[in-house]
Structure 1
């Protein structure tokens, strides 16, 4: 059977590299004669299958091209926002706010809609600042992030006020007129940070910095007694928390900087006191347990590795595997390499230089992470281990870390609330508003109402759940003394996943939907609303609204 060859389409004569001309003519001739065969003929079936695969492949390629084009267009819109900018560092702390790239109210319109981080409704119009909020939620967040109130003459105690969210909360309290006491394990670094801010002359005389290890109940009780002795208290914010324990090497430059004396400034600096040991690897309260049970020491190394680093070995029978020891050794070597590469070797990096790097934009950028010169917002060398407790299941969490989390995240807030209730009641009685405030900084990890709960970090989930129960149990009853106690979720601000995972996601364009100012605004909101006459007590607040426990 022969059939005249059909005319070739015009594009077949293109100079573009393609199928051999002779083979193309044969293929077209076969297709033209195919209708003469029965549908069940083997040749017809073979050609049908081959062409079906071809058309599926073509359709898939076109779908992929369309999807990629949409993704690229939407990505360019997101890149024009403040929170979605490619060079944004999620937990950078400079005492200043992020700024939108464009002066327009919106960054653009998405081709493919996406759900809002807060209300979950789909949106396409992208706010110039928030890349994951719908226009309505973005407007609310803009109004709340700048909310202020007059706290002139009031006293506030804020735990964990040195860096990140805590620093922004402290700045709100100070700039609104409150006499503010903050706690930290690194008090000298806190002095350097706050003193370096341009407007510090307006409020530095109202700042008191307390060096304390909140993992030590004795120190916490001492703090409560000192605060109570100073008179009525208006605001207690339990912000300090241990979420993921970093390897000891991450703290080395910061701990060494605490040994340097503070320089004399041109004006009066903040008052600073300490309660015993503040930046030991383990709290004094657990020292005996650590000494008796070396397995509790996460920083343990075997004797040869310890000798190589000049560290004291644990001794025989410690139960520490060579693999774990070598992992810690590698981490320590990476620390040394990172500091040396930046010219920041311990003993050479001054305390002022360390604080300056922690406050400087871009000090933990992807490029600095890649070349080993990064210092994060807390003044720490990034922990490069491939695993941390955020991804660990219950059988993998270090016993000492579990104990430290409960002491810092649950025991310390309980002791402060119970010991300072009379002072807070006195503050409410003396206030024109008749109110005092306790804000327990919590998280969605401690909520039972969530439909899904992953297996990771059970110890921090336990701690936040316990803190929520303190608010729920005592919140309404404390209202009888004019004390408004709430639990607050700060929102998704930082990524606690292991370092390699964080770097990979950042390279792929991931950014948290909120920033540190948003987190601080959520914590500060119950105070602002209370001073405006709105009582919030015994509730869990998420995105500024009461939410299920």
Structure 2
């Protein structure tokens, strides 16, 4: 004789190990169904033996369906777990918002969006230099009247590997100490009038911005590139080109 039982919402066919007459089984089912919607009646004295016979079956079902807990406790535990997941997701989304709004990353993401719109099939990452001459930024790296956000989770500093949760306004991968030092050095300048500098690979990225920094500090820069005409056009397009061109 075979029977079916629900396991996680799926009907599973199992071999019956107890021989039960079909007529007796039908009577048993009919008696149990008589109490559906009227559980209070089952508490009456005449049904004590029935309750005692049903208890082991109920315990087995509860163990399989609710991990040994009653329905209320199971539902409460499940709700708490869902609440924890929801709060963790909200915290992660908020941290991502803070990180993506640091100036270095936000401008890189804007550039990435522009590139993606132009070539949607290419695999691209947020990279490249950004403009950091905002008037509300001081040498200590803090924006006026804007306290640094605190993340819900810790990050590992790209430079010193220290764990941190206070986010710098410009850098998203540096701890406060490293971010402050790097930002001070980023804005640092000196009078280099009379000095001559040789910058290789001066057409794009670090080489390009290094050359610009030296030019704006008054140095004479010899810039090398495999694409000199394109490099010259890039420098000529700078808004302050007339102040440092030869």
Larger Rg: 2
Deviation digits for residues 341-400 of structure 1 (CA, Å, limit 9, x no counterpart): xxxxxxxxxxxxxxxxxxxxxxxxxxxxxxxxxxxxxxxxxxxxxxxxxxxxxxxxxxxx
Determine the C-alpha separation between the residues in 1 that align with 2:242 and 2:213. Answer: 15
Does the 8 Å contact 1:80/1:107 carry over to 2? no
Deviations 1:439-491 (A, max 9, x none): xxxxxxxxxxxxxxxxxxxxxxxxxxxxxxxxxxxxxxxxxxxxxxxxxxxxx
SS at match of 1:41: helix
Deviations 1:494-513 (A, max 9, x none): xxxxxxxxxxxxxxxxxxxx
The match for 2:60 is 45
* In 2, Cα distance between equivalents of 1:143 and 1:84: 18
Q: Indicate how the Cα distance of structure 1 residues 118 and 83 shifts in structure 2: closer, same or farther if over 3 A, else same.
A: same
Residue 227 of structure 2 aligns with which residue?
186
Distance between the aligned counterparts of 2:195 and 2:103, measured in 1? 34
TM-aligned CA deviation for residue 110 of structure 1:
1.5
For the residues of structure 1 that align with 2:88 and 2:165, how far apart are their CA atoms?
16
Other-structure match for 1:64? 85
Could you list the per-position Cα deviations for residues 61-105 of structure 1 after superposition, in whole angstroms to 9, with x for gaps in the alignment?
Answer: 2221121121122233224321232535444557x4375796445
Q: Which runs of 5+ in 1 are unaligned?
A: 1-21, 206-549
Which of structures 1 and 2 has the larger relative contact order (alpha carbons within 8 angstroms, sep 6+)?
Answer: 1
Aligned length: 176
TM-score w.r.t. the length of structure 1 is 0.28
Say if 2:94 is the partner of 1:73. yes
Partner of 1:112, secondary structure, is strand
Cross-structure match for 2:5: none
Distance 1:124 1:91, change over 3 A: closer
Q: Normalising by structure 2, report the TM-score.
A: 0.59
Residue in structure 2 matched with residue 146 of structure 1 by the alignment: 187
Q: 1:128 to 1:104 in 2, by over 3 A?
A: farther
Partner of 1:87: 110
Unaligned runs of 5+ residues in structure 2 are 1-34, 69-73, 113-125
1:428-439 alignment runs, 5 A limit = none
Counterparts in 2 of 1:257-296, with a 5 A limit?
none
Matched, 1:114 2:135: no
Do 1:80 and 1:102's aligned partners in 2 also have CA atoms closer than 8 Å?
no
